[in-house]
Chain A
Amino acid sequence: TQLLEQSPQFLSIQEGENLTVYCNSSSVFSSLQWYRQEPGEGPVLLVTVVTGGEVKKLKRLTFQFGDARKDSSLHITAAQPGDTGLYLCAGAAIDYKLSFGAGTTVTVRA
Chain B
Amino acid sequence: EAQVTQNPRYLITVTGKKLTVTCSQNMNHEYMSWYRQDPGLGLRQIYYSMNVEVTDKGDVPEGYKVSRKEKRNFPLILESPSPNQTSLYFCASSLLGTGARDYNEQFFGPGTRLTVL
* A residues at B contact (CB < 8 Å): 2, 6, 9, 30-31, 33, 35, 40-45, 48, 50, 88, 90, 92, 96-98, 100-103
Residue of B nearest to A33 (CB): B105
- For chain B residues 21-42, which have a beta carbon within 8 Å of chain A? 31, 35, 40-42
Which of B4, B35, B96 touches A96 (beta carbons < 8 Å)? B96
Q: How far, in angstroms, from A9 to B41 measured CA to CA in the complex?
A: 11
Pairs across A and B, CB under 8 Å, 9 listed: A2-B42, A9-B40, A35-B108, A42-B108, A42-B109, A42-B110, A45-B106, A96-B104, A100-B44
Interface contact A43-B31, CB-CB below 8 Å: no
Residues of A within 8 A of B35 (CB): 100
For A35, the chain B residues whose CB sits under 8 A away are 106, 108
How many chain B residues touch the partner (CB < 8 A)? Answer: 23
Which of A6, A9, A41, A48 is close to B110, meaning CB atoms less than 8 Å apart? A41
Inter-chain contact A43/B108, CB cutoff 8 Å: yes
Q: Which of B40, B50, B107, B108 has the most CB of A within 10 A?
A: B108
| B109 to chain A: closest residue by CB | A42
Contact present for A98 and B111 (CB under 8 Å): no
The answer, yes or no, to whether B115 is at the interface (CB within 8 Å) is no
Determine the distance from Cα of A45 to Cα of B93 in the docked complex, in whole angstroms: 12
Q: Which residues of A contact B44 (CB under 8 A)?
A: 100
